[in-house]
Amino acid sequence: MDQEVLKVEELCIHIHSEDRDYPVVEHVSFEVLPEHTLCIVGESGCGKTMTALSIMGLLPPNASASGKVIFKGQNLLELEKEQIRRIRGKEISMVFQDPLTSLNPVLTIFEQIREIFEAHDPIPSHLLENRVVEVLQEVSIPDAQHKVHAYPHQLSGGMRQRVLIGMALALGPTLVIADEPTTALDVTIQAEILELFNCLKKEKGLSAIYITHDLSVVSEVGDEILIMYAGMVVEKGPKYQILTDPAHPYTQGLLKSSPSYEKRGRPLPFIPGNVPSPEEKGKGCPFYPRCELSKRECEISLPPITSLGPGHVVRCWEIRR
C-alpha cells in the first residue's frame, strides 16, 4: 500500500454566527494517494470549497475546523501561521475558480510570478526573468517572452487560467488543489485546460484534489471520486465504480441529470428541491427530503458509512439492508 500524500480524518468545520454555530462540513475523511487525483463533487453549498480552504489554512475568521489534516506527517490544522505560510505555494498550492479575478489588475504577470519566488526561494535577479518565462512556457503560453510584461486585462480568460496554473506549479508542489478551475471558461477552452492540467500532472508526478460540480469533467481527470452532500461524504470510491455503478441515490440522481448523447431528445431528469442550509439540517440523513427511497428511519437517524468493496464506501440506509 502506498503512503498517502494527504490524509484528512474526521474533518469538521463550524461557522460561528452571533447566536449559534452551524456545521458546514461534518466528519469528512479521505486520503489522496501519490500521483492520484481525487475529485470532490457536489452541488453548490456542499462544503467543497470550505474543505479545500481548511487544508490551506485559509478559513474565514468566523469558521473553525476540528479533526486532522495530515500532510507529510504534520497536522496542518495545528500549525503556526508562519509554518503554514511556508507550505502554501511551495508544498500545496491552489488554482482558483475565476481566472478573471484571481490576478491583480494593477501588476504585470511578471511581478506576480516573481512574488512566488521571493516568498519561498529567492533566486538572483538576472536568472529571475528566464525562470518566469519558463513558468509561462511550461503551461504552453505562446510568445511568453512578451507576455510576461503584459497586464492581466491584456490576456484572454484561458491564458489567465494558464498563468494561474503555471503559478501554482512554479515551485514544484506535491499537492495541487484545483477549485473548479474550468467553471468560468467556455467549453473548448475548458477541454484545453483540462488536457494541460492532466499533462502537467503526469509529467511532474503531482497529486491533486479537483473540486467540481461537473461530472463530465470528473471522467476526464479523476482517479477517485468523493461525492459530498450538505457537508457530508455520501459516497466515495474509484472513478469507474462510481460512474458505472453508483450506490447512493444522490449519486444516481447526479448521473441521471447530467446531459449526454444517449439522452438526446428527452427532457433531462433533475433532483427536486435544494441542498438544505446548515441551519435546516435535522438529525437524519441530509438527503432524505429529496430522496425517492426515503423511509422513516432516514428522517430519524443518520446512516453510518458502509463499505461496498475495496475503497468504495457509501452513507445510506437503503444499501445497508
Residue with cell 457530508: 232
* Minimum CB distance to another protein, residue 210 (Å): 16
- Pick from 9, 151, 191, 243: which binds another protein (CB under 8 A)? 151
Report if residue 135 touches another protein, rule: CB under 8 A.
no
Nearer to another protein, 133 or 316 (CB): 133
Three-state secondary-structure class, residue 107: coil
Nearer to another protein, 103 or 271 (CB): 103
The Cα 261–Cα 60 span in angstroms is 42
The Cα 100–Cα 59 span in angstroms is 22
- Amino acid at the residue 277: S
Part in contact with another protein (CB under 8 A); list of ranges 5-13, 115-123, 234-242, 272-280: 115-123
Nearer to another protein, 12 or 107 (CB): 107
The Cα 54–Cα 43 span in angstroms is 19
The Cα 174–Cα 87 span in angstroms is 10
- Pick from 2, 20, 106, 310: which binds another protein (CB under 8 A)? 106
The conformation of residue 18, written as its DSSP 8-state character, comes to S
Q: Grid coordinates in use for 266?
A: 428527452
| Residues 61 and 36 sit within 8 Å (Cβ to Cβ) | no
- The dihedrals phi and psi of 240, each to the nearest 5 degrees, come to -70, -35
* Straight-line distance from the first to the last Cα atom of the chain, in angstroms, rounded to the nearest whole number: 31
- Pick from 146, 264, 266, 283: which binds another protein (CB under 8 A)? 146
Task: Identify the helix (H) or strand (E) that includes residue 238.
Answer: strand 232-238
Nearer to another protein, 197 or 287 (CB): 197
Part in contact with another protein (CB under 8 A); list of ranges 145-153, 195-203, 298-306, 311-319: 145-153
Report if residue 145 touches another protein, rule: CB under 8 A.
yes
Number of residues that bind another protein (CB under 8 A): 40
| Residues 259 and 268 sit within 8 Å (Cβ to Cβ) | yes
Site string for another protein, 156-175 (x = CB under 8 A): --------x--xx-------
Report if residue 85 touches another protein, rule: CB under 8 A.
yes
> Within positions 16 to 55, which residues make up the interface with another protein, using CB under 8 A?
none
Report if residue 105 touches another protein, rule: CB under 8 A.
yes
The packing angle between helices 157-169 and 125-138, to 10°, is: 120
Which residues of the chain form contacts with another protein (CB under 8 A)? 56, 58, 61-62, 85-90, 93-94, 96-98, 101-107, 111, 115-116, 119-120, 129, 133, 145-151, 154, 164, 167-168
